[in-house]
């Protein structure tokens, strides 16, 4: 119940394409869903986050789509660029606990 | 960023040795966390602390211990290192008003246990 399942494990996209990473959860108590981006040799950093009172959140080329009934959420990277090549982690949290459950990560490579 | 620092950045040790990984932060955050990252397993929480007197076990605390020496310092110890503790270790701090929390990660320590 505490798991967050993330797919795919790796993804290769052409420059300008759309990258899509999916996550699913079981625990309906989760109410905060951040995405973290990690470049090689660095720690993860917050990219974008959503709460379940909205179905979509967009920040620049990055969009989270959230489907509460299906207990799924996804990250879409529009117009993917080589500089987006990184590992992406979804996560879920129960508000007030200040802890995350992370997904297993997706290694994205954007070809120039 | 230098806001969360980890030492050492790389460490090779032998089975049975005791080692300590250190984390310092200048962000002024009360919440601090230790994670390990393994390929295909993502980030898993080892221990967390919400203030100097508060220490809590995470998902995978067996074989690890921690010490919160000050608001700014949170150390992770492996009492008797074993090869399956070979991993990338991250310290993080947490901040957020109200009920939500952004976490800020250090650069990581790559630990190899031979």
CB contact under 8 A, B107 and A43: yes
User: Given this model, what pLDDT does residue A89 score?
Assistant: 98
Confidence of residue B98 (pLDDT cuts 50, 70, 90): low
| CA Rg value for chain B | 13
Query: B40 to chain A: which residues are within 8 Å by CB?
Result: 9, 104-105
Which residues touch A97 (CB under 8 Å, ≥6 apart)? Answer: none
Which of B41, B58, B108 lies closest to A43 in CB terms? B108
- What DSSP character marks residue A21? E
Q: Per residue in B54-88, pLDDT tens?
A: 999 999 999 999 999 999 999 999 999 999 999 99
User: Given this model, what pLDDT does residue A96 score?
Assistant: 85
Confidence of residue B105 (pLDDT cuts 50, 70, 90): very high
Distance in Å, alpha carbon of A73 to nearest chain B alpha carbon: 17
Confidence of residue A52 (pLDDT cuts 50, 70, 90): confident
Which residues touch B68 (CB under 8 Å, ≥6 apart)? Answer: B32, B49, B51, B52, B53, B54, B55, B74
Whether the bond between B8 and the residue before it is cis, its omega within 30 degrees of 0, is yes
Average pLDDT of chain A, as a whole number: 95
Is the CA virtual torsion A76, A6, A41, B20 positive or negative? positive
Confidence of residue B2 (pLDDT cuts 50, 70, 90): low
Q: Per residue in A24-33, pLDDT tens?
A: 999 999 999 9
B40 class by beta-carbon count within 10 Å (0-12 exposed, 13-18 middle, 19+ buried): exposed
Distance in Å, alpha carbon of B94 to nearest chain A alpha carbon: 8
What are the residues facing B104 on neighbouring strands?
B93
User: Given this model, what pLDDT does residue B97 score?
Assistant: 65
CB contact under 8 A, B102 and A44: no
Q: Is B68 on the interface with A (CB under 8 A)?
A: no
């Amino acid at each position: 119940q505490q798991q967050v399942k993330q797919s795919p494990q790796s993804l290769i996209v052409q420059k300008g394409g759309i990258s899509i990473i999916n996550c699913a959860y079981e625990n309906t108590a989760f109410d905060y869903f951040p995405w973290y981006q990690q470049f090689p040799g660095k720690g993860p950093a917050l990219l974008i986050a959503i709460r379940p009172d909205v179905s979509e959140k967009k920040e620049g080329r990055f969009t989270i789509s959230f489907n509460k009934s299906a207990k799924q959420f996804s990250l879409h990277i529009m117009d993917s660029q080589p500089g987006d090549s990184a590992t992406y982690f979804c996560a879920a949290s129960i508000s007030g606990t200040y802890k995350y459950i992370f997904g297993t990560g997706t290694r994205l490579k954007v070809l120039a | 960023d230098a806001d969360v620092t980890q030492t050492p950045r790389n460490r090779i040790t032998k089975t049975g040795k005791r080692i300590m990984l250190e984390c310092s932060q200048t962000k002024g955050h009360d919440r601090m966390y230790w994670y390990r990252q393994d390929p295909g397993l993502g980030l898993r929480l080892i221990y967390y602390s919400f203030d100097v007197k508060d220490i809590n076990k995470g998902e995978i605390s067996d074989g690890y211990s921690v010490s919160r020496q000050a608001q700014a310092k949170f150390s992770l110890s492996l009492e008797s290192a074993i090869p399956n503790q070979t991993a990338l270790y991250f310290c993080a701090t947490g901040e957020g008003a109200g009920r939500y929390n952004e976490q800020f990660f250090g650069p990581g320590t790559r630990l190899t246990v031979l």
